[in-house]
Amino acid sequence: MALDPDIAALLHRFGVDGPPPTTPPTVAEMRVGNRQLSLAVAPSPPLTVGSVGDDTLEGVPVRVYRPEAGGTSPAVVFCHGGGFIVGDLDTHDNVCRRMCRDLDAVVVSVGYRLAPEHPFPAGYEDCLAVARHVARDSGKFGGGVLALAGDSAGANLAASVALALRDGGTPVAAQLLAYPATDLLSPREYPSATENATGYLLTTAECENNVRLYLGDNPGAAATFPASPLRADDHRGLAPVVVGVGEHDPLRDQGLAYADLLAAAGVPVRKHMYPGLVHGFLNFDTVVPSVNAAVTEMYADFKALLQAA
């Protein structure tokens, strides 16, 4: 299917629909551009939830979103996307607000350390530390079940945290993985990395550069968990998962491969491939109707898994 026309117009509006620049941007420029795009498409005023507050857990900055309804609610630890290089608590504020509202859940967004200043495994360790804290002190975070969510690089981190919590005996009720980067070792082995190499916001070359910066002096880590959750030795016993990917995304087939691998290991999987959509679509739900429909479906599936836990 062709690129969704509303997304095509959005990419053109921000000048990111053409070929990649001759000179790759610096990390600082990448962060500025990502932040500008994310904040430009966020609704104003922001979606209303019960409360929003910044805090620190285990030395890691977090933003905690609480639903309007009282009583017991699930806690979702959310890891933002950004190629392990960009993104922050603000770039995914609307994503977390909607998740809080639609799920009636406490959402704990993790401001994990970014590469290249803090290469692997710093970001993973931050997300795992926050998830363990929330699990230990669940009474302060809704008192219900624990779930994990993330998009892109954040979905990589959420998936790896889910594996670590399973191995440590910490119950996880469900996972939501939006267009996850699951295999940092061989991204070009997947057809979507060639089909969608350029012209769809995220390029394959950017993916490879992000991985290089993330792994730093330890490129061999890509062959194993926790850098690549797809390459973990055993996926049995993981929490049920919702996986959603866009058709025009170089990471599309990594996400689908991980969903299929989990299903083969006996994990309940709800898998979605959305025609016409690009990488990073969670942030576009208020400006692109087809994205709103996709996000609505993914969050409804996620909520059903939480309610069934």
Residues with a catalytic annotation lie at 152, 249, 279
| Helix (H) or strand (E) run with residue 62 in it | strand 60-66
Between helix 93-103 and helix 289-308 the angle, nearest 10°, is 50
How large is the greatest C-alpha to C-alpha distance in the chain, in angstroms?
54
Best CA proximity match to 227, nearest among 190, 193, 187: 187
Between helix 122-136 and helix 153-168 the angle, nearest 10°, is 50
Q: Cβ contacts of residue 296 below 8 Å, gap of 6+?
A: 102
| Helix (H) or strand (E) run with residue 307 in it | helix 289-308
- As given in the structure block, the two tokens for residue 170 are 């910490």
How far is residue 42's CA from residue 73's CA, in Å, rounded to a whole number?
26
Instruction: Give, in order, the Cα–Cα distances in Å from 186 to each of 43, 98, 183.
Output: 37, 33, 6
How far is residue 124's CA from residue 92's CA, in Å, rounded to a whole number?
18
Best CA proximity match to 159, nearest among 135, 138, 177, 183: 177
> Contacts from 305-308 at CB under 8 Å and sequence distance 24+?
305/147, 305/173, 305/174, 305/240, 305/242, 305/268, 305/270, 306/74, 306/103, 306/105, 306/144, 306/145, 306/147, 306/173, 306/174, 308/240
How far is residue 126's CA from residue 148's CA, in Å, rounded to a whole number?
14
Residue 53, judged by CB atoms within 10 A of its CB (0-12, 13-18, 19+), counts as: exposed
